[in-house]
Amino acid sequence: MRKKSLWAGLLVGFWFCLTWMAWTPTAAAFSEEQKLLLQSWRLVNQSYYDDTFNHQNWWQVREQFIKKPLNDRTAAYNAIEQMLATLDEPFTRLLRPDQYHNLQISTTGELSGVGLQININPDNGYLEVVAPLAGSPAEAAGLTSHDRILFIDGIDTTTLTLDAAAAKMRGTPGTEVSLVILPDQKSQPKTLSLTRQRISLSPVVAVLDKNSSSLPIGYVRLNQFSANAAKEVSEAVTNLQKQGAKGYILDLRNNPGGLLQAGIEIARMWINQGTIVYTVNREGIADSFAASGNALTDSPLVVLVNQGTASASEILAGALQDNQRGVLVGEKTFGKGLIQSLFELPDGAGLAITVAKYETPAHHDIHKLGIMPDQVVAQEPITYQEIGTEKDSQYQTAIQFLNQKTVLAKAS
C-alpha cells in the first residue's frame, strides 16, 4: 500500500517536479544567475537525504558560492556543479538543458550513441560500465559491467562529470568514438573504436520457448524500466498465457534500472500480497509500496540477474526474492540503493538530487552490496544472439529449475 508519497529515482525512477522559488523583496536584488544558484541550493537543502550535507555547514556553502562572480549562465552552471561537488556524492548533480532533454528522451523513446549505461564508482571516483544496452555497439564490442572507462576520445574521464561523459558518447549515427577500457586491474587497458548508431529503447522482448523444457516456458527479457515498460510487460505476459505458458523466466540481466514506478507496477504483476519496497528519507521515515492483489499469474517463476542488474531492477528482484515469489539465478547484482528525484529548473536545466535510500521487503540495504541470487551461476559474457541458447548457462539453469518444479509457484 502506498502510504505517503512517490519517491522516484534517476537510475531508479523519475519524478518531474517544476519548482519555483518564492522570492522575498531582498531576493529581488539578485541576478538571474544568482537566483538559479540559490534555487539549486534550496532544493538540495529541502530534499537531500543526508542532513549533514557531507558533514559541512550547508548555509556557509551557500554564502561562499553566492559571492562568486556569476556573469553569465555558464558561470552559474559551473558554480552549481562546484557547490554540489562538495557533497562528494556523484548521483546528486546538475543537468544542463541538453543533458536534461537527453535524459527525458532516454526514458521514453530512442537515442543515438554507443549504448552504455554508466556510473561513477563512489568508492574510487572512476567511470565504469553498469551495463551495455541489448543490441548496441557497446554490447557487440564486449563491454561488461564494472569495466572501467579511462578515456573518451582522448579525454581523461576523471575530469568529466557523469553527464559530460555520457554526452561525449552520444552523437550522430555513423560517427565514431574512441574508448580506452580497463576490464580489471590484472589486465592492460585496451582501445576500442565504436560507431554510434540509433538505439531503440523498446524495453521488452518476449517469446514462448517450447523446445528447452517439458512445459512451455514464457521468456520475458526486460531491458530497462522506461515509461512504457509496465504496459509492455503486461501485454507480454498476457500473450504468453494465451499461448499456453506454464512457467516464466524474467530476465533482468544487464538491466540498469529506470523509473521506480515502472518497477513497482511490474512487481505487482507477479505478487498478490506483500511489500514490494521500502524507501527511507533523511528523517529515517520509511515509506512503503505493496502489492495490489492483481497479479497476472501464479505460475512458477525464475529471475535471471547479474552484475549489470541495477537500481530499479534490484528493487524488482529483491521484491520477488523476499516474497518467495521466484528463484533468483545468476550472479550478485550491481548494488545501487539510492533514489534520486529530478527537479526541473526554470531555464530548462534539471537537478538530480538523492532524496532517499531503498530497502527490500526484508529490510536489506543493498547499496554497494547487491543482491545474492538463490542459485549462483557464473557466466562469461555472451552476445545478444546467444541469450537463451546452450551457451547461456544461466538460462539453462532456469529451465532446469522449472522442469524440476522446485520453484515456489504462488503469487501470495
Residues noted as catalytic: 311, 322, 336
**In angstroms, what CA-CA distances link 93 with 11, 106, 226, 269, 390?**
13, 17, 21, 33, 43
**The dihedral formed by the CA atoms of 216, 221, 227 and 230, expressed in degrees to the nearest 10:** 30
List CB contacts of 277: < 8 A, sequence separation 6 or more: 263, 264, 267, 288, 289, 315, 318, 319, 358, 359, 360, 361
Element (H, E) at 247: strand 247-251
Q: Could you tell me if 61 and 86 are in contact, meaning their C-beta atoms sit under 8 angstroms apart?
A: yes
Q: What is the DSSP letter of 215?
A: S
List CB contacts of 344: < 8 A, sequence separation 6 or more: 16, 17, 18, 19, 100, 350
The CA distance from 379 to 377, in Å, is 6
Q: Label the pairing between strands 247-251 and 301-305.
A: parallel
